[in-house]
Structure 1
Amino acid sequence: MATYDLEEQEQLAEIKVWWKQHGSLLINVITAASLTVIAWQGWSWYQRNQSVQASMVYNVLQKAVQDKDSQRIKAASGELLEKFGSTTYASLGALTAAKTMIDSTDAKTAKVQLLWVVEHGKDEFRDLARLRLAAVLLDEKAYDLALKQLDGSASPGFEARFADTRGDVLSAQGKKAEALGAYQTALTKLDEADKSGKGKNSALGRQGQAAAVYRELLQQKLDSLGGSKQ
C-alpha cells in the first residue's frame, strides 16, 4: 500500500475538514439542481404532450363543425376546456364552437364558450371573445352587460373595433352624442393603427381595399347620426 508524504497528508486532512463542514450543503445543492432539471424536463414533456392531445381534439371539433354536428361540437369543446385549458387550442376551440352556436341561434351555449375565453384566454384571444360576447349581448339588448365587456384596455389591433362596437351599443341605447364620440374614436384608432403598421395583422384582417371598406362603414355610422369625422 502506498504511503503519503507529509504534504499529501496535509492536503487530505484539509479536504476531510472541508468536506465535513460543507459536504452536506454541496450534496443538497447538487440534489436540488438535479431535481430542478428533472422537473423542468418533466414539465416540458407534459406541455408538449398536452398540446399534441389538444390538437387532436381540436381536429375532431373542426370536423364536427364541417359536419354541423352540434353535439360533437359541444363534446369536443367541453373536453378542450376541461382537460386542456392551459393550451391555445382551448381558446381556439371555444371561439370556434361559439361562432357555430351563434350561427345556429344557440346564443346560450355561445355565451358560455365566449365567457370562458374572456376569463381564461390570453391577449388577442381574450379581446376577440370580449368583442363577440358584446355583440351577442347587444343582439339580446343587454346593453349594460355589453358595455361591461368593452370596458378597459384592448390590444392595439382591437382598439378600433372596441370603440366601434361601443358606438353600436350606445346608439342602440339612444345615446347619440356618446355614440358619435365612440365612432369618431374608432376612426382615429383605425388611422393610428394603419399609420403605425399595427393594423396589418390586427383582428380586423384589413389589407388594402378591406381597410377602405371598414373606414367607409364607420363614416356611414357617423353620418347616420348626423356627425362627421373630426
Structure 2
Amino acid sequence: MIDYNKTDDEQAEDLKAWWKENGISVIAGIALAIAALFAWEYWQKYQIKTMEGASALYSTLQTTADDAVAAKSIQELQTAYPKSPYAALASLETAKKYAEKGEYEPAITALRWAIDHTKDVDLKNVASIRLARVLASAGKYDEALQLASQSYGASYESVLEEIKGDIYSAQKKTEEARKAYERAILSAKNNSSELIKIKLDNLGKGA
C-alpha cells in the first residue's frame, strides 16, 4: 500500500526493497502462467490432431472393402490411438464381422480389447453386453451368464434378460428361460419384443 506521507525518493526505495524481496516470486509466477497457457494450447492441438488421425483411420475402415486394409487400420487405431473412442468402435465392428461368420474367438478378443481400453461408459456397456451374447453363442454359458447378470442400467434390461433366456434355453433350463423372456418382454420398448415372444412361444408350455 502506498504511503502518501513519504517522499518520492522514500517510496522508490520501498518499491526497490519490495522488488528485491518478491521479484523472483513474481517473475516465477508469470513464467508458470505463460508455461501453463502454452501447455494447454499444445494439449488442445495434440488432442485435435489425435482425433483427426483416429477419425481418418476409422473412416478408412468403414469405406474399404479390402480386408487387409481394414485389418491394418484397426491395428494402427489400437496401437497409436488406444484411448480414442474410434479404436473401441473399430473393435466393436470387427467383433460383429467375426461373430456373423461364426468366428467367435477373434470376436471375443476384439470385444475384450474394447472393454479394457475405452473410458466411455456407454461403449463399455455395449461391448460387455455384446461379449455376453458372443460367449453364449460360443457355448461359454457360465461366463456369459455372469456377464449378463451385471448391472448396466435400466435401458439395457430387456436385452440382458433376452440373453439370459437364450442361455437358459441352450442349457435346456426351460423354466428359467421362460421367466427371463417374460422379464425381457415386460421391460422391452416399442415393438422390440416380437422376437422375444417368438422365442418364448418356442419353449412350449413346459412340463
- Which TM-score applies when normalising by structure 1? 0.76
Output the aligned Cα RMSD: 2.3
Instruction: Indicate the residue corresponding to 1:54 in structure 2.
Output: 54
Instruction: Indicate the residue corresponding to 2:36 in structure 1.
Output: 36
Question: How many pairs were matched up?
Answer: 200
Instruction: Indicate the residue corresponding to 2:3 in structure 1.
Output: none
Q: Distance in 2 between matches of 1:23 and 1:176?
A: 81
Q: Distance in 1 between matches of 2:103 and 2:184?
A: 30
Equivalent of 1:79 in 76, 81, 86? 76
- Aligned-pair identity in percent equals 32
- Say which SS state the counterpart of residue 172 (structure 2) adopts: coil
Over 3 Å counting, the alpha-carbon distance change for 1:183 and 1:18 in structure 2 is farther
1:120-135 alignment runs, 5 A limit: 120-121=117-118, 122-135=120-133
Equivalent of 1:105 in 76, 98, 102? 102
Shift of 1:90: 0.7
Which is further off, 40-49 or 21-30?
A: 21-30
Q: Distance in 2 between matches of 1:98 and 1:184?
A: 29
Equivalent of 2:199 in 208, 216, 221? 221
Shift of 1:155: 4.1
Q: Distance in 2 between matches of 1:126 and 1:26?
A: 47
Structure 1 residues without counterparts, runs of 5 or longer: 1-5, 195-210
1:1-230 alignment runs, 5 A limit: 7-64=7-64, 67=65, 69-121=66-118, 122-190=120-188, 194=189, 211-212=190-191, 214-225=192-203
Q: Distance in 2 between matches of 1:127 and 1:33?
A: 40
Shift of 1:114: 0.9
Q: Distance in 2 between matches of 1:188 and 1:30?
A: 62
Over 3 Å counting, the alpha-carbon distance change for 1:63 and 1:12 in structure 2 is same
Structure 2 residues without counterparts, runs of 5 or longer: 1-5
Instruction: Indicate the residue corresponding to 1:206 in structure 2.
Output: none
Shift of 1:7: 1.9
Q: Distance in 2 between matches of 1:171 and 1:92?
A: 30
Q: Distance in 2 between matches of 1:112 and 1:13?
A: 73
Over 3 Å counting, the alpha-carbon distance change for 1:15 and 1:181 in structure 2 is farther
